[in-house]
Amino acid sequence: MLVLLARAISGIILPEGFRAVVFDAQRQELDEETKDAEFYVPAYMGNSRIFEVVSEMPKLKYVQLLTAGIDKTVGYIPPGVTLMNARGVHDSSTAELALALALASLRNLTGYIRAGSQAWSARSGRPSLYAKEVAIIGAGSIGREIARIFGALGARCTLVSRTGSGGSMRLDQSGALLADADVVVLVVPLTEATRQLADAAFLANLKDGALFVNVARGEVADTQALLAEVSSGRIAAALDVTDPEPLPSDHPLWNEPNCLISPHVGGATDAFIPKARELVEKNLARIAAGERPLNVIEGDY
């Protein structure tokens, strides 16, 4: 089996009879050899070309993503091709960033940085995560890791999902929870059902002083509605993702003292490559053994 690999995970251990070629769809064209690939690992980050090339691989059987979200693949994966995501690869890194964003906001670290040498005069008592009510919307592996590490600091975490699976609360029954939550974390996949989930009504339901953290996708939130709430001072926001993305340099969110923004770096740590290599190696080994690969995406998305 010919495997096309993203450069970041070149050098992985292959099963007997498998052969790998490093391929960069944004800089290379498929040739007679690479068109015969049966297993394709697109780059972690890239433009639509990394998925457009799938239509040029007539023998393709598997696409292994290095992202947890699959929203960028919609419309590109033909029937009969098995799609797998990177569930588990980004759990710790994204949860760490969610915690860092929350703590930086709650403890006013960005305010102290802006104050510079005057930071001593800006000291004040600030909220802790201890005993705070945290609603985590998204009960997948990343959401559960966020709950674990927030809980280790004494936060009371409730997982929320669309279906209420795995002991989580159903989203359509979570209004009272969200209205009482001190911190609301979004970590849902981007689908038509979750697009602009955090709209004006959702944000208006959050209590005064709540912290809204988005480590999902920018399009899950209504940017204008979020700007209105943050600029009023009623709530604070900590965002790893925005809509649009990158957020234009003149966008008013940059100037809001109640808004902390990081440039979509939730999974961008040195934990990514070893975990990604391990997942790809496991799935190739399972395929070689005639077993079902891990993280297969099924049904509508």
Query: Tell me: the pLDDT tens digits for 14-35?
Result: 999 999 999 999 999 999 999 9
CA 224 to CA 203: how far, in whole Å?
Answer: 11
Is 168 inside any structural domain? yes
Whether residue 97 is found in the same domain as residue 221? yes
Whether residue 209 is found in the same domain as residue 141? yes
Is 301 inside any structural domain? no
Whether residue 250 is found in the same domain as residue 104? yes
Whether residue 127 is found in the same domain as residue 239? yes
Instruction: Count the residues in the chain.
Output: 301
Whether residue 225 is found in the same domain as residue 127? yes
Is 74 inside any structural domain? yes
CA 129 to CA 101: how far, in whole Å?
Answer: 12
Whether residue 179 is found in the same domain as residue 221? yes
Whether residue 78 is found in the same domain as residue 219? no
Q: Provide the β-strand partners of residue 259.
A: 237
Burial 34-62 (b: 16+ CB within 10 A, else e): bbebbbbbbbbeeeeebbebbeebeebeb
Whether residue 233 is found in the same domain as residue 197? yes
Check pLDDT > 80 for residue 150.
Answer: yes
* Per-residue tokens: 279: 């997942």
Q: Indicate the number of domains in the chain.
A: 2
- What is the arithmetic mean of pLDDT over 6-17? 94
Is 183 inside any structural domain? yes
- In 3D space, the residue among 220, 228, 218, 234 whose CA is nearest the CA of residue 253 turns out to be 228
Give the domain extent around 238: 91-261
Residue 245 is a catalytic residue: yes
Question: CB within 8 A of 64, min separation 6: which ones?
Answer: 39, 40, 41, 84, 86, 279, 280, 283, 293
* Per-residue tokens: 91: 């759990």
Is 295 inside any structural domain? no
Span 263-283, pLDDT tens digits: 999 998 999 999 999 999 999
- For residue 51, the model assigns a pLDDT of 97
Whether residue 81 is found in the same domain as residue 95? no
Bin 264: left if φ > 0, else alpha if -120 < ψ < 50, else beta.
left
pLDDT band per the 50, 70, 90 thresholds, residue 123? confident
- What is the arithmetic mean of pLDDT over 53-67? 97
Residue 251 is a catalytic residue: no
Task: Compute the chain's Rg from CA coordinates.
Answer: 21
Look up tokens 């964003």; give the residue.
Answer: 101
Residue 236 one-letter amino acid? A
The active-site residue out of 29, 33, 245, 291 is 245
Whether residue 168 is found in the same domain as residue 103? yes
Burial 138-169 (b: 16+ CB within 10 A, else e): bbbbbbbbbbebbeeeebbbbbbbbebeeebb
- What is the arithmetic mean of pLDDT over 199-210? 98
Is 299 inside any structural domain? no
Is 50 inside any structural domain? yes
- For residue 144, the model assigns a pLDDT of 97
Residue 7 is a catalytic residue: no
Long-range Cβ contact pairs of 124-129 (< 8 A, separation 24 or more): 127/182, 128/153, 128/154, 129/102, 129/103, 129/153, 129/154, 129/155, 129/183
The active-site residue out of 144, 145, 219, 264 is 264
Whether residue 135 is found in the same domain as residue 71? no
CA 162 to CA 193: how far, in whole Å?
Answer: 9
Is 212 inside any structural domain? yes
The active-site residue out of 217, 219, 229, 277 is 217
CATH of the domain at 159: 3.40.50.720
Check pLDDT > 70 for residue 301.
Answer: no
Whether residue 164 is found in the same domain as residue 281? no
pTM to 2 decimals?
0.92
CA 41 to CA 62: how far, in whole Å?
Answer: 9
- In 3D space, the residue among 250, 192, 195 whose CA is nearest the CA of residue 218 turns out to be 195
pLDDT band per the 50, 70, 90 thresholds, residue 185? very high
